[in-house]
Each structure stands twice: as C-alpha cells, then as structure tokens.
Homo-oligomer: A and B are copies of this chain.
Amino acid sequence: MAELSAESGIPVATIKYYLREGLLPPGERTSPNQARYGEGHVQRLKLVRALIEVGGLSVATVREVVRAVDDGTATHNVLGTAQRALAAPSPEVGEEDREWALGVLTELSAKHGWKFGPGHEVAPALIAAVCTIRALGHDALLERLDDYADIADQVAVVDLDTVNVQQSLDRIVEAAVVGTVLGDRMFEGLRRLAQAAESRRRYPTYRMPLSLQPPSA
C-alpha cells in the first residue's frame, strides 16, 4: 500500500478510506498484512480522487459511478449507466410548475431530436432549474432556451468525439464519466472567461454606470 501511495501520490489514510467505502477494489492478499495492487488500482485511485476533489461528487455518488464503470462490459447503454449515476438530487416543484416545465422541455427536445420525458434521468434537475429560473423572474434566460439547446448540440458533438477515440470499453465508460464531471467543470471555467471578455466588450470601462443600463431601466 505504501507503493500504491507513492505511485498515485495519494496518502495511505485516504487509500484506506476509499477501500473501506468500497470505492477501490481490495488488492490481492499475499500475506496477512500485505496485499498486491496493480496498474488498475492506480488508475482507479486517480479517477476516484478526481471525481471527489475536482468533480465535487459525494462518496455515495462516486460509489455508484465506479459500479457503473465496472459494469461497463454489459452490452447495453454503457454511457447512459454512468450518466444516470451522476444525476444530482433535485428539489420537488409544484404540480403546475412541473407540467409547464415538462411542456417547455418536451417541445424543445422534439425540435432538437432529443429523447425526453418525465422519467428521463435528467428530468428532475432540468425541471427544477427552469422552474426556479422562472420563479425568480429571470424569464430572459428561458426565452433563449433554444439558443442554449443549439449550443448544447455543438458541445455534444465534441464530447462524443473525445469519448470515441478511447481504446477499450471500460476506458470508453471512464472517458464518459471524466468528460461528464470534469468536462462540465472545465467548460464552466471557460464560460466564465468568455463571459468576462464579452462583458468587457459591452461595458468597456469595466464599470457599469447608470448610463450604460438598458434603455428600459
């Protein structure tokens, strides 16, 4: 285990914690207090730590995700399995709000050739997001849903390109997980930089004096 720690750069105490929590399969026991760990353990350790520390996932979610990665040899919907485990818990919304959101999202999905319905794994998160945005009165954001959907279509093509070039089936599933969790974090960062640049273009003084507020103000 000391070698595994040296190889991965992860403290022994953290490795023991991951083992206890079932995030890392046990090594091959060679004596009562010795076990052998392989290259797979190093890769898995890095993945688990990345999901927790960079992806911000809970231990329980990571447990589901690594299970999905390990079940990756199942022939059906390997990418979907990993993604389902990543869906965050979402607050409940009222029945009327829910119906409205389902209508909006179903229409949007039909236009973009997406499969969507109330039972879809991302439905709770998406419904909660659009209902909350509406409840806060930021309808301007919702009016551009179709533009966001167009951009999501472009992102998805690049996402799938990067998953596609991986070699083996378990690597494909792992790439989908990394792309989903870390890719989201990376894209959020790029979006912040681009927003700041766009903000400077529109408000060149880096301030927003009253005179630059929209005419409706």
Query: Which A positions have Cβ atoms within 8 angstroms of B?
Result: 43, 46-47, 50, 53-54, 56, 75-80, 83, 88, 90-91, 109, 112-116, 120-122, 125-126, 128-130, 132-133, 135-138, 140-141, 143-144, 147-149, 151-169, 172, 174-175, 178-180, 182-200, 202, 206-210, 213-214, 216-217
Of the candidates B140, B184, B209, the one whose C-beta lies within 8 Å of that of A166 is B140
Of the candidates B120, B182, B198, B200, the one whose C-beta lies within 8 Å of that of A129 is B182
A-B contact list, 15 entries, CB within 8 Å: A75-B207, A112-B197, A113-B197, A115-B197, A115-B200, A128-B185, A132-B182, A133-B182, A136-B178, A138-B162, A138-B178, A149-B190, A151-B158, A168-B217, A169-B213
* Copies of this chain present: 2
Contacts of A155 in B (CB 8 A): 148, 151, 191, 194
Contacts of A162 in B (CB 8 A): 138, 140-141, 143-144
Contacts of A216 in B (CB 8 A): 165, 167
Question: A11 CA to B192 CA in the complex, in Å?
Answer: 34
